[in-house]
Amino acid sequence: TCLAEYIPHSNLTLIFQVNVAIAINRVLKRRNLLIGNNDIFIAATALHYAIPLATFSKKHCSRLEQDFD
């Protein structure tokens, strides 16, 4: 029996997005390029759903383009 069988799909999606956000945060922190947590979570959501990231913050977005495309 898999633990995922007991967790609703929407919760698994959220757990995955949080883990991706944590990974993004660690990479950016290591490079001293941190951006806001809200921007990190938006990027994680875009990665999860494989959709383009639309933003008015080109400065923050450029920090993500190198490693997370």
Q: Is the pTM of this model over 0.75?
A: no
- Residue 1's pLDDT is 43
Specify the higher pLDDT residue, 8 or 59. Answer: 59
Burial class (CB in 10 A: 0-12, 13-18, 19+), 51: exposed
Specify the higher pLDDT residue, 66 or 58. Answer: 58
Q: H or E stretch including 17?
A: helix 9-30
Helix/strand/coil percent split, the chain, to 5: 70, 0, 30
- Residue 47's pLDDT is 84
pLDDT per residue as tens digits for the range 1-46: 455 555 556 667 788 888 889 998 998 899 898 888 888 888 888 8
